[in-house]
Amino acid sequence: MNINEKLATLKYNKDKESHLAVDNDVCMRCNEKVCTYICPANVYEWNEEKCIMTIRYENCLECGACKIACDKKNIIWRYPNCEYGVKYKNG
């Protein structure tokens, strides 16, 4: 069961704007890019061509792992505004 199938089991109310942000210049200098593998929802993907971090914030599970694990402390992390984000039914 790949990550997209796992995420498809979830109910989200998607916000129009992202509750997550990074400074792409800092990401460019970051060798490790921990966020690209540590995120349980595969939110972060480095776009080599455009040199930007793609952030699929709408899939975020609001766990906070990315913010803690980022070696550069480069992730601005907050909760989605109320009524938005993931809604668990079976936690």
Partner 1 sequence: MENNKVEVIVVGAGPAGVSAAITLARAGKEVLLIERGDCAGDKNIFGGTIYAKQTAEIFPKFWLTGPIERAITEQKIFLLTDYNSTQFSYKYSSKGAYKAFTVNRAKWDKWCCNQAEKEGAYYAPKTLVKELILKDGKVIGIRTEFEEFYSDIVIIADGVNSLLAKQIGLRKDIKDTDVSLSVKEVIKINKEKLEDRFNVDEEDGCACKILGGPLKDKFALGFMYTNKDTISIGYSISLDEIKKYKIKPYELLDELKAHPTISAYIKDGETIEYSSHLIPEGGYKAIPKLYDNGVMIVGDAAMLVNNVHFEGTNLAMLSGKIAAETAIEAINSKDFSASSLSKYYTKLKESIVIKDLKTHKNTIEIIKKNIHTLSSIYPETACEFIEILTEADGIEKKVKYRKFLKDIIKKGVITSSIPLAILAMEKCLKR
Of 10 and 51, nearer to partner 1 (C-beta) is 10
76 binds partner 1 (CB under 8 A): no
- Residue 66 — φ and ψ, nearest 5°? -60, -45
Alpha-carbon distance 6 to 16, whole Å? 23
| CB count in 10 Å sphere of residue 58 | 19
- Name the one range near partner 1 by CB under 8 A: 6-14, 23-31, 45-53: 6-14
| Strand runs labelled E in 1-91 | 11-13, 20-22, 44-47, 52-55, 75-77, 85-87
Nearer Cβ to partner 1 (23/32): 32
Q: Does 55 bind partner 1 (CB under 8 A)?
A: no
Binding to partner 1 by residue 31, rule CB under 8 A?
no
Q: Token match 């966020």: residue?
A: 35
Site residues (CB under 8 A) for partner 1? 1-3, 5-7, 9-10, 32, 34, 37-38, 40-42, 61-65, 67-69, 73, 77-79, 81-83, 85-91
